[in-house]
Amino acid sequence: HRTPDDEMVLPLCINVVLSVVGFGVVLRAIPALSSMFIEAGLFGRDLCKADRTKKVPESMGMVSGTVFLVMMFLFLGVPFGQHFITSSKPFPHAAFSEYLTSLLSICCMLFLGFADDVLNLKWRYKLVLPTLASLPLLMVYYINKGSTTVVVPRLLRAWMGGTLNIGVLYYIYMSMLAVFCTNAINIYAGINGLESGQAVVVGASVAVFNVIELGGFQAKSHFFSLCVIIPFTITSLGLFIHNRYPAKAFVGDTFTYFAGMTFAVVAIIGHFSKTVLLFFIPQIFNFLYSVPQLFHFVPCPRHRLPQYNKKLDKLEPSVVEFRDTSVRWQMMVALRLLNHLKLVHLEEGVGEDGKLCRVNNLTLINLVLVLIGPQHEGSLTTKLLVLQGLSSGLALFIRYPLADLFF
Ligand code: UD1
Ligand code: MG
């Protein structure tokens, strides 16, 4: 007689084997396809290098994304096909439709990210497209009677009861999750290896969380999440190897959108759409820190990546200059306060007429450079990825010992 555990172990082993094959394919395909991408005009200049004339193939997320999808299609027969052979139970139509729509949503985002790379879409579309791409999945979630209740913190239980059904708000939250995950990864970028590296670290962290939860009462959902996140993480690792310093490939918005959507999708089908945000602590910080520039309270240049210092061969914080009269006084007060707290580097009274302000571009990458001084690009990426790993540790601490106190 087979236990539920046996039913999961074999598919997971096959999943890992397929992922490793995918890893090998990505590793070889990227150099093989590089010149083809450059000829098609899909290349970028490495802005943090002394030599900016070299063309680096861009949108290489297309390669890892395609390999990921192929592996997912091949894997389809494993958890579902075996039903025809070994199981007397009815075919799991609900799970099957969830699995297929997950791939549909991810595939859509890969396609839309690629469109962005080719066409350079405006910001408003970057917000609308992930919402639309998440609709099929939300529909299936609804049909499969996915839960829309949240657990109420202990302190509030006397008034609100143990759980609260937030209904349609839950669906709005889930589609906003897709918008957040895609854009948060996209704006935490600009140095070699960071886009793909953060995706690998977050992916691995989500996988660890899923494995822990395989023993819990939502085991089936976490199993499906694992089946998606393992191939994603391992194929992205193949991309990272070419994207890390010195980059031989750029991932493009194709990858940042595809990666963000994958996290949103596994969180939705795995029923951990709140916990997943814990693995995005650096991205959430980077987003909040970026708000003044994203909403144009402070001017926002096209690129906010750090500044290359040729003499030192190191990166320094990049800055933005503006007239103090062009920014609201409330913003200036906030910037002065943050300067006091050493959270921004603000200089006032600069420029020829002494009427300009200069502040570092408001990204976590620049903040780290403000705090610890100029860094070599490769080691800066490593430090930021270690930070990502440490915050995943913090996330698991918040999720387990700490959350038990409050929930
Ligand atoms: C986002 C950021 C932008 C940042 C850019 C870098 C916001 C609002 N937008 O824009 O500030 O500069 O990502 O990815 O925060 N590049 C490098 N080295 C790298 C990665 C990228 O030089 O390691 C450069 C290349 O020229 C590449 C370009 O960035 O071609 C890609 O930028 P793109 O992804 O199109 O920028 P956005 O996502 O719009
Ligand atoms: Mg981008």
For 63-86, the pLDDT digits (tens) are 999 999 999 999 998 988 878 787
Report how far residue 273's alpha carbon sits from residue 174's, in angstroms, rounded to the nearest whole number: 7
Q: What are phi and psi of 346, to 5 degrees?
A: -110, 130
308 within 8 A of 52, measured Cβ to Cβ:
no
pLDDT band per the 50, 70, 90 thresholds, residue 154? confident
- The whole-chain average pLDDT of the chain stands at 94
Supply the pLDDT for residue 44: 97
Name the token pair of 126.
């970057």
Ligand 1, atom 16: closest residue by C-alpha: 190
Report how far residue 265's alpha carbon sits from residue 72's, in angstroms, rounded to the nearest whole number: 14
Q: Which of 399, 387, 14 is nearest to 230 (CA)?
A: 14
Residue 9 has pLDDT above 70, yes or no: yes
Per residue in 214-252, pLDDT (tens digit) is 988 899 999 999 999 999 999 999 999 999 999 999 999
Per residue in 162-212, pLDDT (tens digit) is 888 888 999 999 999 999 999 999 999 999 999 999 999 999 999 999 999
- Number of the ligand 1 atom closest to the C-alpha atom of 363: 15
- Higher local confidence (pLDDT), 1 or 246: 246
Burial of 24 (0-12, 13-18, 19+ CB in 10 A): middle
- Number of the ligand 1 atom closest to the C-alpha atom of 253: 34
- Number of the ligand 1 atom closest to the C-alpha atom of 120: 35
Ligand 1, atom 31: closest residue by C-alpha: 252
- What's the gap in Å between 45 CA and the centre of ligand 1? 10
Supply the pLDDT for residue 146: 83
- What's the gap in Å between 98 CA and the centre of ligand 2? 29
- What's the gap in Å between 349 CA and the centre of ligand 2? 33
Mutate to test the pocket of ligand 1, among 38, 45, 47 (most ligand atoms within 8 A of CB): 47
- Number of the ligand 1 atom closest to the C-alpha atom of 48: 22
Considering only the C-alpha atoms of the chain, give the largest distance between any 2 of them, rounded to a whole number of Å: 83
Per residue in 107-124, pLDDT (tens digit) is 999 999 999 999 988 888
- CA dist 298 → 119, 359, 360, 365 (Å): 26, 9, 11, 18
pLDDT band per the 50, 70, 90 thresholds, residue 4? low
**What percentage of the chain carries pLDDT values higher than 90?**
81
Mutate to test the pocket of ligand 1, among 42, 120, 126, 186 (most ligand atoms within 8 A of CB): 186
What is this model's ipTM? 0.98
pLDDT band per the 50, 70, 90 thresholds, residue 13? very high
pLDDT band per the 50, 70, 90 thresholds, residue 1? very low
Per residue in 286-335, pLDDT (tens digit) is 999 999 999 999 999 999 999 999 999 999 999 999 998 899 999 999 99
43-45/55-57 β-pairing: antiparallel
- Contacts (Cβ under 8 Å, ≥6 apart) of 196: 236, 239, 240, 243, 244, 251, 255
- Number of the ligand 1 atom closest to the C-alpha atom of 303: 12
375 within 8 A of 386, measured Cβ to Cβ:
no
- What's the gap in Å between 61 CA and the centre of ligand 1? 14
Per residue in 327-386, pLDDT (tens digit) is 999 999 999 999 999 999 999 999 888 889 999 999 999 999 999 999 999 999 999 999
Q: Which of 131, 153, 99 is nearest to 274 (CA)?
A: 153
* Stated pTM of the model: 0.96
Q: Long-range contact list for 289-292, CB < 8 A, 24+ apart?
A: 289/362, 289/363, 289/364, 289/367, 290/187, 290/362, 290/363, 291/362, 292/331, 292/334, 292/362
Residue 305's SS3 state is coil
Residue type, 102: S
Instruction: Say if residue 299 is preceded by a cis peptide, omega within 30 of 0.
Output: no
Pocket of ligand 1 (CB under 6 A): 44-48, 58, 186-187, 189-192, 247, 250, 253, 303-305
What torsion, rounded to 10 degrees, do the Cα atoms 192, 63, 202, 177 define?
A: 110
Residue with tokens 């890892």: 64
Supply the pLDDT for residue 31: 98
pLDDT band per the 50, 70, 90 thresholds, residue 269? very high
- CA dist 112 → 25, 89, 132, 196 (Å): 23, 39, 11, 18
149-151/307-309 β-pairing: unpaired
334 within 8 A of 291, measured Cβ to Cβ:
no
Q: Which of 296, 263, 367, 331 is nearest to 123 (CA)?
A: 296
Q: What are phi and psi of 306, to 5 degrees?
A: -60, 170
DSSP assignment of 10-29 equals HHHHHHHHHHHHHHHHHHHH
Nearest ligand by distance to the CA of 380: 1
